[in-house]
Structures are given as structure tokens and as C-alpha cells.
A and B are shown apart, each in its own frame.
Chain A
């Protein structure tokens, strides 16, 4: 069996498990919807959102934050698999460890797609406008996939490296919330004090949000900034993925 085949086997298992309980995923959407409705309704930033409503402005930010929380939480599934011995059985099966990481990252993409789909439908029902055509949606899907592969790999590496579940949840908390605030998710970079802008400009969330915001919110096709955003996101995810593969290869060494 080749690596792609192995990857799909690992992915299929998780997708099947998700299909047995789809409603659990949808409950996760309550929180981001509250963000949009409550936070988005109160905050007004005239002149800072370049002519769109604030809810429209924050939509990509909340979208990326939602998939980040789901993707990084993939580590908890892995921790559970390690505790009950499923991971050991996968590690001694005749498959590459790269396939295990890739398969799990891919299943994380599947999970987040389901959320993104429902999220956008709900946003549309709530009257939050965004550009909705095949290209825009495919582009958004691609950015989400690249970003989620990186973040879920990060979650998996943390799950392997941190011994206890408590340590893992602690570190994930340290990643998830600050990455929302220290990014362009809720406000544009030029509203920030210099120190925060510096942090935000090295935060990969900023690039994923920026690319989706340009296309989905503004319908802009300015090539240079979009390609820069994409390049940063790809490099970030590839680097994390590579590190996670190394972490997996070292298990038991």
C-alpha cells in the first residue's frame, strides 16, 4: 500500500467516527455565532473596516478562530488514542508514521469543512454579506485546508510531547485565545499599538484571515498581497507538519 492509501485509511477511521455523531460538531458553532451576533452587533468601527459592516469584517476572523480551536483540539483525540492503546497499534502497523500524521490532519480538515459549511449558511441567514461564488468558496476552502493541516499537526505534536492532558489543555488555551486577539481577526492591523502589531504580523492567523477577508469579504483579487498571505500560510503549515512527523518518528526511540 502506498503512502496515499495509508493516509486515507487513517483519515477514513476518524471520518467514520465523526459521522456517528455529527451533532457534536454543530454544537461547537454556538460560540462563534454568539461572537458574531453579540460582539459584532455592539462594536462599530467606522472608517476602519473599509466600507463594510463590522460583522462582515470580523466574519473571516471568527471563521479562522473556529477552525483553529477545532483543529488544535485534534490533539485531545490523539491523547485519548494514546491512553487506550489505539495509537500503539497504529505505530506497530506496517504503515509510515507520516501517513498517520497526514491522515489525521486530513480528517481534521474534513471536520472543519463541515463546520465552515454550516457556519457560512448561518451567517448568510443572519444577513451577514460575503462574496459567494465557486471561486471564492474554493479559495476559502483551500486556505482553511492548508491552515488546518498546520494547526492540527501542532495539536498532535503537543499531545505527544506534553505528558498530561492538563498540560496539553493549558498550552492549547495559551495558543487559542491570544492568537485571536493578537491578530487581525477582530480589528485591522493599523488600529493596533506598535507592539501588538509586531506580534500580529508574525502570527500565522493574520495571514490566513487576511487572504480570506480580501476574497470573501471584499471580493478583491489583488495578486501580490493574496499570494504573500498564501505563501506564509503554506510555509507555516509545512514547517509544523514536518516537525510533527519528526515527533511521531521519535516515539519510542
Chain B
């Protein structure tokens, strides 16, 4: 079967800087796929190459079965792309923005009006569609962009940092929207993100990219499993020997580390939440009093650390879009 997206040794080199190195990945139809990595890891470059905006230095890739270099025209007909910035045009109304994209994708007049009306309703902008986009909030602008995707209805959608700088409520709206898009229109979604929770909660499959290289990929749950099970940390009153005895033969405790009055239990075969009551009961039976319990579930953060040997340090996202907005405002002033 042909994958919705496939790359083979895809590489982009700027001067002597390798932005994307020998990327091999594939995305299936109707999948929400996330490329997760810190800033400068090569996420945007990968998205731009796949969206036919940038020519690769070497390697090949196919979108919808079409070659990203030789068949760009065919890809453009079935693809949508939203860059990192808020691309809605401030100097037009919301409706006019959608009208522009509808026309750009060659929709007939009837289809145009029908889809624009539907899209505006779906993203909750019907009442503000005649207002200038300059008066919209950041969240509204992002929703307007998503509406423009609904208007052209691409088979494959590329999104570069779709929720960067949005408030938690807007982020959730975007996630729900993308899931609905996949469910209703069978859209394949490729997104880049540096939010762990976005990759975890939204994506069916995630690839972690660092310094231009894809280090690991798979469904979030499986990636997290691969770095080990849940960890229960206990603080106890009572003798260690009793505790050791209680935990030694426990069926779900794979490994125990003791340090003074505390213990770290690595759990396997059952979730941490479900193991805690069993462990506590066993300890009480041996006369060990437990003072506190902490449960640590492996996150994609742990996955990142495990495969790159580094902590995932994400730049504070707020600096980015605010600077961007300032710049846009400045340019607008100059433009007038």
C-alpha cells in the first residue's frame, strides 16, 4: 500500500549546516502524525519540504503517492499547509479571507458559499465574519485559518506548530477540530510541535527529532512503555527489612531501590494506579506504615531523554508569537 506520506533519506543542508539528516518516515492514511522536537531540530524544514515549499538537498519523499520534487503540482491540489505564523490577512474581513482561499483552490461559486458558511459555523466565527481580521484575537485568527482548511478540504494537511502561543482553551479547540477533521473527512494530518502534551494527547503516532535526525517513532503509549513502566515512590516508617520482604515477591514489582526511609518501585504488567493499593496492603500486613506515595508515569519527556541523552528543554513559547505580533504590527504601520 502507498503511504499518505513517505520519506526516504530526506535531507536538507543549508551551507554547512545539516537541518534535516537522512529522514525516513511514513504516515498512513487518516493518521494524525506528530513530529516532536525542540526548536531548531528540523521540524519546520521537514514540513516545508513535504509541503513543496522547499526543495530537499537529497533523498526523496512522496505525498499522496506523488514525488515532492517532480510532481509538486499534483501534491498542491490535494494538500493544505498552515505555517507557524497566523496567516490570516488583517486587512480583510474574515469572510474575505475564506473567499480568497476558496477561489485560490478553484471552487465553484455555489460550493464556495456553502463551504464558507459551514466552515464559519464550525469554528464559531459566523457572527464576526464581516469584521476585519485585525480586530480578531489570536485564537480567532487560528480558527479562521482552520476554517480555510475546511473550505479547501485537503486530503493531506501539514501544520507547523498549530497551537504555538495559544491559550489552553484555544489549544483544546484546535485539537478537537483536527480530530473531527480526520474523522469527518478522512484527512491525514502531519503536524510539528514542541509541546509534549500535544504529541501525547492528539497524535496517533509520534516521531522524535533532534538535531535533524529522527531518533525514534511510534504511538505515544508504546514509546512511553519502551522507557520502562510506572514508578511508585514511597516514604515509610518502619524497618526496611520488613518492607523488603513485603515487596520482594510482589507480582507486579519488577525492581525495588531502597534509600533510608524511601523506596522506588518499578512496576511492570499493571498500571501504577492499580498497583498502589496492593502494595500498600502488603506493606501494612508486614507492619510497615506508609507516609506518602508518589506515582510517576513515563512521559514523552522521558522518551526524549532516553533516546537523545538530553533533557527536553523547550523555549518559553510566549516570547515567540509576541515578538511576531509586534513585528507584524510594525510592518502594518509601515505599509499604510
Residues of A that sit less than 8 Å from B by CB? 1, 5-6, 9, 12-13, 16-17, 20-21, 24, 76-77, 79-80, 83-86, 88-95, 165, 252-253
Q: Which residues of B contact A13 (CB under 8 A)?
A: 89, 92, 96, 100
Q: Are B87 and A88 in contact (CB under 8 A)?
A: yes
Candidates A1, A21, A93; contact of B336 at CB < 8 Å: A21
Q: Are A17 and B103 in contact (CB under 8 A)?
A: no
- Most-contacted residue by chain A among B54, B89, B332 (CB, 10 A): B89
* Interchain CA distance A6-B103 in the complex, whole Å: 8
Residues of B that sit less than 8 Å from A by CB? 48, 51-55, 73, 76-77, 79, 81-87, 89, 91-93, 96, 100-101, 103-106, 132, 327-328, 331-332, 334-336
B143–chain A nearest beta-carbon distance, Å: 16
Mind listing 13 A-B residue pairs with CB under 8 Å?
Answer: A6-B104, A9-B104, A16-B92, A16-B96, A83-B327, A85-B84, A88-B53, A88-B83, A89-B101, A94-B77, A95-B104, A165-B331, A252-B54
* Interchain CA distance A228-B81 in the complex, whole Å: 47
Given that A89-B81, A92-B81, A94-B76 are known contacts, is A77 also in contact with B335, CB under 8 Å in the complex? yes
Q: Are B334 and A17 in contact (CB under 8 A)?
A: no
Q: Are B91 and A17 in contact (CB under 8 A)?
A: yes
A86–chain B nearest beta-carbon distance, Å: 5
Candidates B48, B76, B105, B335; contact of A252 at CB < 8 Å: B48
* Interchain CA distance A21-B334 in the complex, whole Å: 14
Given that A91-B53, A92-B52, A92-B53 are known contacts, is A84 also in contact with B86, CB under 8 Å in the complex? yes
Give me the 8 closest cross-chain CB pairs, A-B, nearest first.
Answer: A85-B83, A85-B85, A85-B87, A17-B91, A1-B106, A94-B76, A9-B103, A80-B331
* Interchain CA distance A191-B334 in the complex, whole Å: 38
Q: Which residues of B contact A17 (CB under 8 A)?
A: 89, 91-92
B118–chain A nearest beta-carbon distance, Å: 20
Q: Are B54 and A90 in contact (CB under 8 A)?
A: no
* Interchain CA distance A91-B336 in the complex, whole Å: 24
Q: Are A20 and B91 in contact (CB under 8 A)?
A: yes
Specify the main secondary structure of chain B where it touches its partner.
mixed
Q: Are B104 and A93 in contact (CB under 8 A)?
A: yes
B306–chain A nearest beta-carbon distance, Å: 35
Q: Are A252 and B53 in contact (CB under 8 A)?
A: yes
* Interchain CA distance A83-B331 in the complex, whole Å: 9
B160–chain A nearest beta-carbon distance, Å: 9
Q: Are B87 and A84 in contact (CB under 8 A)?
A: yes
A151–chain B nearest beta-carbon distance, Å: 18
A119–chain B nearest beta-carbon distance, Å: 19
* Interchain CA distance A167-B89 in the complex, whole Å: 24
Given contacts A84-B86, A92-B79, 4 further A-B contacts (CB under 8 A): A1-B106, A84-B85, A86-B89, A89-B82
Candidates B85, B89, B106; contact of A83 at CB < 8 Å: B85
Q: Which residues of A contact B81 (CB under 8 A)?
A: 88-89, 92
Q: Which residues of B contact A90 (CB under 8 A)?
A: 104
A40–chain B nearest beta-carbon distance, Å: 28
A164–chain B nearest beta-carbon distance, Å: 12
Q: Are B76 and A86 in contact (CB under 8 A)?
A: no
Chain B, residue nearest A88 (CB): B83
B97–chain A nearest beta-carbon distance, Å: 9
Given that A9-B104, A95-B104, A252-B55 are known contacts, is A83 also in contact with B335, CB under 8 Å in the complex? no
Q: Are B87 and A86 in contact (CB under 8 A)?
A: yes
Chain A, residue nearest B78 (CB): A94
Q: Which residues of A contact B86 (CB under 8 A)?
A: 84-85
* Interchain CA distance A93-B77 in the complex, whole Å: 7
Given that A76-B335, A83-B327 are known contacts, is A89 also in contact with B55, CB under 8 Å in the complex? no
* Interchain CA distance A85-B83 in the complex, whole Å: 6
* Interchain CA distance A92-B331 in the complex, whole Å: 23
* Interchain CA distance A252-B56 in the complex, whole Å: 9
Q: Which residues of A contact B331 (CB under 8 A)?
A: 76, 79-80, 83-84, 165
* Interchain CA distance A94-B71 in the complex, whole Å: 12
Q: Are A84 and B328 in contact (CB under 8 A)?
A: yes
B125–chain A nearest beta-carbon distance, Å: 18
Q: Are A93 and B48 in contact (CB under 8 A)?
A: no
B152–chain A nearest beta-carbon distance, Å: 8
Q: Which residues of A contact B106 (CB under 8 A)?
A: 1, 5, 94
* Interchain CA distance A24-B91 in the complex, whole Å: 12
Q: Are A83 and B328 in contact (CB under 8 A)?
A: yes
Q: Are B73 and A94 in contact (CB under 8 A)?
A: yes
* Interchain CA distance A86-B331 in the complex, whole Å: 14
A31–chain B nearest beta-carbon distance, Å: 15
Candidates B55, B73, B105, B132; contact of A20 at CB < 8 Å: B132
Q: Which residues of A contact B328 (CB under 8 A)?
A: 80, 83-84
Chain B, residue nearest A90 (CB): B104
Q: Which residues of A contact B79 (CB under 8 A)?
A: 92
Q: Which residues of A contact B54 (CB under 8 A)?
A: 252
Q: Which residues of B contact A91 (CB under 8 A)?
A: 53
B62–chain A nearest beta-carbon distance, Å: 16
Q: Which residues of A contact B101 (CB under 8 A)?
A: 89, 93
* Interchain CA distance A49-B128 in the complex, whole Å: 57
* Interchain CA distance A92-B83 in the complex, whole Å: 11
